[in-house]
Amino acid sequence: MKLQKGITKYLKQQSEDICKMNECTEDNHNCESYAYFDRSGNLLDICCPDYFQGSSGQVVAIPLPFIGTLKDLKSDIQFDLAF
């Protein structure tokens, strides 16, 4: 699986922006947003779970805020694809 270059930086920035809009604190996240990836590692969308109208294939939802590394993200996606 090949993830897009700069994807972790993008997810961290999106996480920060979404949390700011939803007035989240370090201890209380009000956003309930997810980054959705397909089995190839392509980012499909970032949104709330009930708004996702993704592909017909297997989709992995990574909860935001995302604070990990590229290795963490790849591992999370591969773990979820196993189920």
DSSP character string of 6-40: THHHHHHHHHHHHHHHTT--SS------EEEEETT
CB 46 within 8 A of CB 15: no
| Choice among 13-22, 47-56, 70-79 with the minimum mean pLDDT | 47-56
> Above 90 in pLDDT, residue 52?
no
Per-residue pLDDT, 56: 60
What does pTM read for this prediction?
0.80
Q: Rounded to whole angstroms, how far apart are CA atoms 14 and 36?
A: 13
Q: Name residue, tokens 């009000």.
A: 30
Per-residue pLDDT, 44: 87
Q: Rounded to whole angstroms, how far apart are CA atoms 15 and 31?
A: 9
The mean pLDDT value for 41-67 works out to 77
What tens digit of pLDDT does each residue of 3-49 get?
Answer: 888 999 999 999 889 889 888 888 887 778 889 898 888 898 888 66
> Above 70 in pLDDT, residue 57?
no
